[in-house]
C-alpha cells in the first residue's frame, strides 16, 4: 500500500495546485482499492464455489464407486486422494485470482520440492505403503487386525494412514509405511479359528471323567465345529494342578462368544459334577 502511494506520487502530473495532486492520488487509491477489492471478492467466490464443487465431485465419485461395487478399502483411498488433489487445484486458482503469478508460484513449489520431499519423506513412504496395502491386500476395511502393538477393526485406509477402531472405541491412526513393512496379524482373513483353553483340576481327579465331561459340554454347543474334531488331552502335570488342554474350531465371528461361554459353562458343570479346581499349594517337609 505504501509503495503504491509513493509510486503514484512520483508519476503524478506536474501541477502547481496541491489540491489537484491530492485528487490525483485519491483517484489512484480508489482505483487500486476497487481493483484489489474485486480480486479479493473474486477469490472468495472462487473458494466458495470451488468447495461446493469439490464436495459435489466427492459425493459423485463416492456414489460411482459404490455403484461399481468397488471394495471399501479402495473407496476410502480414492476419495482421500481426489479430495487432496482438488483442494490443491483450488488453492492455486485462488492465489492466481489474487494476482499472484501462478507460474512463479509453480516455480517456487518446484524449487522447494526437494526440501519438502526430504522433510516429508516419511509421508511419501506412507503414501507408497498405502498403494502396497491396496495392491497386495493383507487386510481390508472391516477386518480385525493386530499391528504395531495395537489391535482394532479397520475403518478406513487413507492416503497416509490406516484408521483402526479398538474394541473399547478408541480411534488409532497407523502410518501406512509401518503397516506395509511391518508384521500384520489379520484375525478376519479366514472363515474359521481355533479356540484353546487350558483348565487346571485337582490332583486325584479322575481324568476320564474330566475328559468325558468336557466333551459333553462341547457337544451341546452347536457353534463348535465337528470338522476338525475337538481335541482334549492331559496337557501338563503342574505344581498345583493337572492341566487339561481343550482345542476346538469355530467360525471366526463366534470366537469370543464361544471362548467366554465355554469358561462359564465349564465352571458351572465342573462344580455340579464335583470336579475340583485347585488352589496354589506348597508342600513343606520338615526333617528330624
Q: How far is CA 153 from CA 18, 51, 149, 169, in A?
A: 77, 31, 14, 10
Closest CA to 162 of 171, 70, 85: 171
The vertex-56 CA angle with 52 and 58, nearest 5°, equals 115
Largest CA distance in the chain: 130
Q: Which distant-in-sequence residues (6+ apart) come within 8 Å of 65 by Cβ?
A: 74, 75, 78, 79
Most confident of 3-7, 186-190, 221-225: 221-225
| Architecture field, domain 192-273 | 2-Layer Sandwich (3.30)
Q: Among positive and negative, which fits the CA dihedral 64, 67, 68, 71? A: positive
> Per-residue pLDDT averaged across 88-105, rounded?
74
The residue extents of the domains of the chain are: 2-113, 129-186, 192-273
Length of the chain: 288
pLDDT of amino acid 113 = 57
> What is the percent of the chain where pLDDT is above 70?
79
> Per-residue pLDDT averaged across 200-210, rounded?
93
| Architecture field, domain 129-186 | Roll (2.30)
Q: Would you state the cell numbers that stand for residue 57, as one nine-digit string? A: 465431485
DSSP string, 117-129: HHHTHHHHHHHHH
pLDDT of amino acid 22 = 63
pLDDT of amino acid 242 = 94
CATH 1.10.287.1260 fits 2-113, yes or no: yes
Q: Kind and range of the H or E element at 280?
A: none
Q: Would you state the cell numbers that stand for residue 51, as one nine-digit string? A: 468447495
Residue 11 in this model has a pLDDT that exceeds 60:
no
What would the pLDDT profile of 44-64 be if each residue is shown by its tens digit? 888 888 888 888 888 888 888
Mean pLDDT of the chain: 81
169: left (phi over 0), alpha (psi -120 to 50) or beta: left
Which of 114-118, 141-145, 158-162, 203-207 shows the lowest mean pLDDT across its residues? Answer: 114-118
Residue 193 in this model has a pLDDT that exceeds 50:
yes
Q: How many helices (H) and strands (E) does the chain have?
A: 8, 8
Asked if 53 and 104 count as a contact pair (C-beta separation under 8 A), the reply is: no
pTM summary value: 0.57
Question: Looking up cell 526440501, which residue turns up?
Answer: 115
Amino acid at each position: 500500500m505504501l509503495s503504491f502511494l509513493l509510486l503514484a506520487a512520483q508519476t503524478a502530473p506536474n501541477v502547481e495546485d496541491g489540491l489537484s495532486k491530492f485528487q490525483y492520488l485519491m483517484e489512484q487509491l480508489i482505483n487500486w482499492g476497487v481493483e484489489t477489492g474485486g480480486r479479493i471478492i473474486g477469490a472468495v467466490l472462487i473458494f466458495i464455489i470451488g468447495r461446493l464443487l469439490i464436495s459435489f465431485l466427492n459425493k459423485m465419485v463416492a456414489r460411482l464407486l459404490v455403484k461399481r461395487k468397488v471394495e471399501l478399502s479402495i473407496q476410502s483411498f480414492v476419495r482421500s486422494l481426489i479430495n487432496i488433489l482438488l483442494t490443491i487445484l483450488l488453492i492455486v486458482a485462488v492465489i492466481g485470482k489474487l494476482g499472484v503469478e501462478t507460474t512463479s508460484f509453480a516455480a517456487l513449489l518446484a524449487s522447494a520440492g526437494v526440501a519438502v520431499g526430504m522433510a516429508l519423506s516419511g509421508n511419501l513412504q506412507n503414501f507408497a505403503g498405502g498403494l502396497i496395502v491396496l495392491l497386495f491386500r493383507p487386510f481390508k476395511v472391516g477386518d480385525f487386525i493386530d499391528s504395531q502393538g495395537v489391535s482394532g477393526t479397520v475403518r478406513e485406509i487413507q492416503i497416509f494412514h490406516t484408521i483402526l477402531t479398538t474394541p473399547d472405541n478408541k480411534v488409532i491412526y497407523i502410518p501406512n509405511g509401518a503397516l506395509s513393512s511391518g508384521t500384520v496379524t489379520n484375525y478376519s482373513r479366514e472363515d474359521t479359528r481355533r479356540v484353546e483353553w487350558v483348565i487346571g483340576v485337582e490332583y486325584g481327579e479322575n481324568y476320564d471323567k474330566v475328559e468325558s465331561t468336557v466333551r459333553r459340554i462341547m457337544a451341546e454347543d452347536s457353534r463348535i465345529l465337528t470338522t476338525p474334531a475337538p481335541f482334549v488331552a492331559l496337557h501338563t502335570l503342574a505344581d498345583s494342578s493337572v492341566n487339561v488342554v481343550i482345542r476346538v474350531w469355530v467360525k471366526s465371528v463366534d470366537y469370543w462368544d464361544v471362548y467366554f461361554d465355554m469358561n462359564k459353562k465349564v465352571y458351572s458343570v465342573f462344580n455340579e459334577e464335583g470336579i475340583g479346581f485347585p488352589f496354589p499349594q506348597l508342600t513343606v517337609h520338615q526333617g528330624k
